[in-house]
Structure 1
Amino acid sequence: MFALLKAVEFALTPHGRLKVGEMKPGSIKSPASNKYIANFTKTQSISRSLSALYIGFLDACELLSSMRGVGWDYGTGNDIYIPLEHRSSEKTGFLKSTLWSTLGYYLLLDMIDTGFKLVPGVSSPSGGSIFRPELSLIPRLVVSTGLHFATGVAFIAGFNMFYGLLTLIAVSWWQPPSAWPPVTENPWATTSLHDFWGKRWHQLLRQAFFVGGGYPLAFLGKTIFGVLFGERVGRTAALWGLLLGTFTASGLFHMFAMYAMGQGIEWKVVGFFSAQAIALILERAWRTATGRRVEGWWGRAWSYLWIVGGGQWCVDAWHRRGLGGGMVIPPSLSVTRLIILPLVLKSKANSNILVMREDDITVLNSSGDSWKLSNLAAPASVEAGHIHAIQAAREPHLFIKCTAGSILQSAKRQVNPRDPVTAEAPPKLRTYQRKEPRRK
């Protein structure tokens, strides 16, 4: 879909896309004026020994892969916000800072991914709701809000981690640091929805959504309402059409991406993104009526209400299709599962957290004792010990939460009539058997 929208954009730009400061491809008219972007876009920065064909090829590759338009005519000035750079402009220092931040985001994403594998239902590749039906209203909302918040953190960590990896590759090989400004700018510090969507959230698909919905609806609004009610009303209708069309295109993009998860689509996703346009219009109306911007702590509360509160049904649609149960960090590369949790278990003699690995189907307690888990299917529990196994025998590096101090000898499978996986099989007795230590 992104490639299709790119093709439409290029087709509707008869004179082609130009780099910052170009009069025509390869012809520079002035130095770059964007304060966040150095002269990395100039053909002078490429060795003059290269042929014009090769330079054109590099420009074409850059244009096709440029999502924010950094250094291009559609991504400069007021068209797009470039987050402020806090890393060193010197290449070595820039790469070191990027490496450490990328590792930090990787660890954060790994911990959240591991945490999702602890939640019943959500940990399943077939999906589960963040609204736990077995809980009363208040605990259910607390759990859903926590899972929704964790999902947002995971998205931010994922964006920054993969962007950091690409930054390390590109800057190490050929591009200067100024070509890779930050992808987000502390989304948690937002003071309004304008601030969040226009500056702090990533702008990677902004141009695509303009082309796919914003520009067409703005044109229709200006044309129709301008003819019927005058130029002033037409300009207002164009602005509203730009907002509504852009966010509706974003909703359609995310909804059709959901189709790849194999369980159909939900229009709730489109509803969430389209509602953001309405909220932005309300912010503009507030400023027009009062002369004050939406900002400060109350502006932050307003933003969180729309995103953290209203976005839960959108995130729930993804989790019911297996978002939390998918493999994000391979178990063999998971620092949390291979190093952090085992260290935590060993450091707490009376810990009530148990770890099971699918490859040897062994449960380890904090004392280092090992227990053989016989023929366990998911989900399961030890009733007297309150051991809850999440997706046992189907998830690598399974984590089991135990509220008792020890493992009991018998386990009885709990069948959830709403879960087709567990409802098909009758309950069976499961046993834990102590593994004998190997003789040397």
Structure 2
Amino acid sequence: MTQLLNDLRNILVTTNKACPTGQDVVLYILPIFALQYLMGVLVQLKNTAYLRIALLPTMPLIAMRALLALDFSCGKLEQAQSNAIFFTHLISVTARVAICAVARQAYRRDNVREAESTSIPLALWNAWDLLLNLRGIGWDWSQGIPIPRSSLAARSRVQFLLFSFIRAVVFALAFDALTEAVRTFFLYTTPLNGDTIFNQSLVSIPRYLRAFGIAYLTVWLAYFGMEWVYNLLAVICVIIFYQHPSQWPPLFDKPWLSTSLSDLWGRRWHQMLRYSFVWVGGVPLSYLFGRAGLILGTFLMSGLFHDIEIRAIGRGGNSLVEVGFFVMNGVGILVERAWANARGCRVRGIYGWIWTFSWLALWGMPVVDQWAKSGRFGFDTIPGGFKPAMSLLSLVLPSGVDKGFAVNCLCFGISLPFLVYSLFTLPT
């Protein structure tokens, strides 16, 4: 027990860990992948419940073994985000394996007849899809997860690949530009060292306007960061695994048009981890507190997930801030439900939009401040430290022009008019 507690304390410490080698991948990563794949096969077959439950304790053990041994940043602070990605990926995999282990019914694809679903060769093939299909697209277990409609799904495979690749490039450029724009707010400090977004040398109004500007850019930064990776993965999986374009619908559904917190988190924001958070956090609490427990438990699990992710960077964290943001969004949804029951109408329209983003700003700005203090804005945005947006600006701007000022004008000059225009298209 003492050794386990020591391991849990040391799991975020990178000083005694090794930079991964090919041998480490075989020893530490391959067993995790193999067990996840095996569980994906078994969950499609009948009469495997006892075997799945027997295998379940193995996953957290081998995941912890890898987390205690490997440092994907290789001691370089600017690459610390790679450890955060590794941590959260293993947490996600462990949660999904646990859900598969306790599944009461065998998973079945929508295009497979029940008689064929017990085929072992078919289960071996479909398990590859389960490895990446976080939203359960094309599977019977994903009912209730909203999937945005895609304008590319009906196109040919070549057209889909072309459009997805172009979008990945554009989103990567936007992500890099927004990161550089945020960094310009820390001219007198090094973003990698960490600093608060609330500049105490400024009086109240400029101080909070500056902090709000950083938070505003950070939201777009997070959006484009996830979008470019998602579109790149779509290209890779459609080529290598020959997946159909319909298996890669849009990741988001225009979250800037959200007119309520329920609309944002229940439909418009990405739903990649929704199933895991609901079953690991929401369902257990729903047995105690009903619908409110389901909502708060889901957001609590999301908060813990993101808190671990920020701590995996190696700069500590603030659980009250990180977990509190998500829990308070759950509280906000309960407030909306109470409003709908009392007034007979849901939160919507322009007033719903104001309510939604005011609530997000209230609880979200401390989260962005925590990100800044951890040095997150100084990390490499693209592997190798390549900065494509700034490289392009260097080609088109005359020498002597402040590129930081130019990228700020570009980011605010495009996003703000777009946002204002979008307000006229809000659903009523």
TM-score using structure 2 length = 0.68
Q: After TM superposition, give the deviation of residue 331 of structure 1 in Å.
A: 6.7
Give the distance between the partners of 1:242 and 1:146, measured in 2 at CA.
Answer: 34
Of 115, 121, 139 in structure 2, the residue corresponding to residue 72 of structure 1 is: 139
Q: Report the Cα distance in structure 2 between the residues aligned to 1:313 and 1:322, rounded to whole angstroms.
A: 14
Q: Tell me how many residue pairs correspond in the alignment.
A: 312
Q: Which residue of 2 aligns with 1:427?
A: none
Name the CA shift for 1:61/1:172 in 2 (closer, same or farther; >3 Å). Answer: closer
1:15-414 equivalent positions in 2, closer than 5 A: 15-20=105-110, 22=112, 24=114, 26-27=116-117, 53-76=120-143, 79-87=144-152, 89-90=154-155, 91-120=157-186, 123-173=190-240, 174-221=242-289, 238-267=290-319, 268-330=321-383, 333-346=386-399, 353=402
Alignment root-mean-square deviation, CA: 2.3
Q: Return the structure number with greater strand share.
A: 1
The answer to whether the Cα contact below 8 Å between 1:122 and 1:129 also exists between their aligned partners in 2 is no
Aligned counterparts of 1:128 and 1:339: Cα–Cα separation in 2: 28
CA distance in 2 between partners of 1:80 and 1:332 (Å):
36
Deviation at 1:337, TM superposition (A): 2.1
Select the structure of larger CA radius of gyration. 1
Measure how far apart 1:259 and its partner are: 1.3
- Which structure shows the bigger proportion of residues in helix conformation? 2
C-alpha distance in structure 2 between counterparts of 1:112 and 1:245, whole Å:
33
Aligned partner of residue 323 in structure 2, secondary structure: helix
Structure 2 CA distance, aligned partners of 1:101 and 1:25?
Answer: 40
1:272 CA drift (Å): 0.7
Contact 1:84 1:182 in 2 (8 A): yes
Q: Please give the secondary structure, in 1, of the residue aligned with 2:236.
A: helix
Structure 2 distance, partners of 1:82, 1:122, is 42
Residue 203 of structure 1: CA displacement? 0.3
User: Once the 2 structures are TM-superposed, how far is the Cα of residue 134 of structure 1 from its aligned partner?
Assistant: 1.4
Deviations 1:169-194 (A, max 9, x none): 12234111111100001111111111
Deviations 1:73-128 (A, max 9, x none): 2213xx11001112251222222221222221111001012223323277522211
1:184 counterpart SS class: coil
In structure 2, distance between residues paired with 1:7 and 1:316: 34
- 8 Å CA contact 2:285, 2:294 repeated in 1: yes
Query: 2:310, 2:403 → 1: CA distance?
Result: 34
Contact kept in structure 1, 2:317 and 2:374, CA below 8 Å: no
TM-score by length of 1: 0.67
Quick one: which amino acid aligns to residue 261 of structure 1? I
